[in-house]
Amino acid sequence: MNFDGKIALITGASRGIGRAVAVEFARRGAGVALVGRDVAALRESADACAGARPGAFAEVYEGDVTDRAAIERIVDEVVARSGRLDCAVANAGQSADALLLRLKPETIDRMLDVNLKSAFYLCAAVAKPMMKQRAGAIVLVSSIVGITGNPGQAAYAASKAGLLGLCKSLAKELGSRNIRVNAVAPGLIETAMTEKMPDAAREFLIKQAALGRAGKPEDVSGVVAFLCSDAAEYITGQTLVVDGGILM
């Protein structure tokens, strides 16, 4: 799992799982492109990458992941500067809870835009340089809720489930060009997003986990790095569940 000389692009890299993924890649030798809207937080992620490996190449790219033109521009800039793009991680995501009869149309649109459509835009943009290279790895960050569903999370679950269909379809489309597409489905991971969960819901999930604890962003980042590495060069179209045993 050595990424010396390789370039990885991560959306939603300002905090949580995205930051942990960026640091993991940097620690293993990759140059990283950090994409998001919160420039100050992205710079903190870049500093964390430098702390993981002195001299690490980490660049900040401000952009709205729901803006297709912005994503295409960023990918073009990364390739122009680095000459290549080896790994892409579609991590940007938001959560909004509401029962179906209280679910506002704008909430549905936002969940699909941020969690699902942004992944389409990223994959389309990175596929072009990867096809020219005839090599590349894409990882989509889904959720166990996209597998099981959850009351009050219909929009979020639907958007995350959509990523799993996207993963399998693109794996079949791009496999002939040696581009692998996989997904990870995290469970309860300690991030800013899950801090908003009610204590009762958090305690319930922890009790369901065979490992008896919530996960850390680093529990996910290592799996993402594995899926992008040469160690996983014969794995594509798969979803790895990273949930401490909740779904067993």
Active-site residues, by number, are: 156
Burial profile 222-240: b = 16 or more Cβ within 10 angstroms, e = fewer: ebbbbbbbeebeeebbbbb
CA dist., res. 153 & res. 145, Å (int): 8
The alpha carbon of residue 144 and the mean position of all alpha carbons in its chain are separated, in whole angstroms, by: 14
Q: How far is CA 100 from CA 109, 214, 242, in A?
A: 14, 28, 27
Q: Where are the alpha helices (DSSP H) in the chain?
A: 16-27, 39-52, 68-82, 105-111, 118-133, 145-148, 154-174, 199-208, 217-228
Closest C-alpha to 109, from 172, 52, 155, 48: 155
Tokens at 30, concatenated: 């990759």
3-class SS of residue 115? helix
Contact by Cβ (8 Å): 21, 89: yes
What does the alpha-carbon distance between residue 47 and residue 39 come to, in Å, rounded to a whole number?
A: 12
Name the CA radius of gyration of the chain, rounded: 17
* Spatial CA neighbour of 59 closest among 78, 40, 41, 76: 78
